[in-house]
Amino acid sequence: MKIEFASADSVSGSQAVPVFADSTFSAAAKAIDDASGGALSRAVAASRFTGKPGQTLEVLAPAGTNADRVVLFGLGKQAELKASVIEKSAAAVTSKILLSGETSITMRLDGVADAEGAGRAGLGARMAAYRFDEYRTKLTDDKKPSLSGMTITADNVAAANTAWDSWGAVAAGVDMAREVTNLPPNVLNPETYAKKIEGMSEHGLEIEILDEAAMAELGMDMLLGVGQGSEHESHIAIMKWNGGAEGEAPLLFVGKGLTFDSGGISLKPGAGMDEMKGDMGGSAAVVGLMRALAGRKANVNAIGIVGLVENMPDGNAQRPGDVVRSMSGQTVEILNTDAEGRLVLGDVLWYAQGRFEPKLIIDLATLTGAMLIALGNSRAGIFSNDDTIAEQLFAAGNASDEPVWRMPLGADYEKHIETKNADIKNVGEGRLAGSISAAEFLKCFVNERPWCHIDIAGTAMGGMKDDPRQPSWGTGWGVRILDRFVRDNYEG
């Protein structure tokens, strides 16, 4: 969907107008209400619309105006208005009329929001407009989106366009993360995913791909063991954005990219296994972030690296009871082949922190079902050896509406991955502290560098049904929090 910005004196056609708490009309809403002889006031009185954030009320063809429709949208208390509320409200408006037959609408934010708020409105609208219809060949016209554009009014149009240069890049990153998550596993496999990432060079990213021969030479037996049952060769994709000072240590973002996870020999139950096409959600967040940073020309040096693997149960597949040697030299006893993501990440983390000597490391993975049990699908869990990074991510999560909650690490949990048969094992103690045990495993491969692991098992797929910014099964979760983390703390 195309987003444009204009001044209030150029408004024509259908409009979306803000209403504050207790049905307090904005100037734009009051002007239409007056012109229509009180049609908006009567519609509000006849409904349960009160101006709460996220509420909408559609009035068709009000008399005295040339608008086919007017959509009232709530912003809550004017004194407490935040950019995130505007973002979600723009998403609600978009969702309301996406299939309505309307092709364009003007969202009135003049006199209400600054340039930043106008830009965030564009982000919300773009997120709500996303569709994954690539393989739906029988959609009737009434089920296809009609809305193709939104014009947002602003007091300073030039400043709003500048803000959109930034937030539009974030929208593009979220779209890309959603696309790769939604693609079926017969289309997106480690090889085709690597090729798709190579195409990101057109946005100014430096791309490097490692194949299995290169990984074998490096000694990445953990990662290679996960993919040895698949017909598709495993890959590692490296994305570099050099937007900061020359020679400045980069920020490192690492993502788990299991394009399909059958569980291997420790086969998953059949019900719901189709959703394991989304077990690459961590990599999707990293890919989307790198697209966003490049798109808005972020003033930072950043590296995104993702391990792309498929976990399948053929005659050459890894077995429970195997012992493998990681690139770090540590040996790992495999007790469950479905605890595979940590094996992939462990080798990638060790390789990346040694080669790039980053300022900090953040990894993301749909790692454990236990995380979904602990926090549901509204928050991701974070595990960190650095209080500053954890606090920055917590703040970035709240600012971006992708919240996180910090979980513990410690010596009392390290013992969960001890074994008599190797240096460590790849699962913890039964059903106890499963997400923490997985994080403790990853901690063994960061060499005490500042690091945070984000378990997004509950947030990368499915989404929050009551949030219009999440219309898709693949949510693209992680792009916004990481972008906010970077822009608020690490750009000069």
Any idea which residues carry the catalytic annotation? Answer: 268, 342
Nearest to 68, CA basis, from 24, 16, 19, 29: 16
**Cα–Cα distance, 138 to 160 (Å, whole number):** 39
Q: Give first-to-last CA distance, the chain, whole Å.
A: 32
Euclidean distance between CA atoms 380 and 237, whole angstroms: 24
Residues 6+ apart with CB under 8 A from 231: 312, 314
- Using the structure block, give the residue that is written with the tokens 């969907």: 1
**Torsions phi, psi for 87 (to 5 deg):** -60, -50
Q: How far is CA 74 from CA 93, 354, 469, in A?
A: 10, 50, 16
Question: What is the spatial distance between Cα 216 and Cα 232, in angstroms, rounded to a whole number?
Answer: 16
Asked if 295 and 173 touch (Cβ cutoff 8 Å), the reply is yes
Q: Which residues pair with 425 in a beta bridge?
A: 333
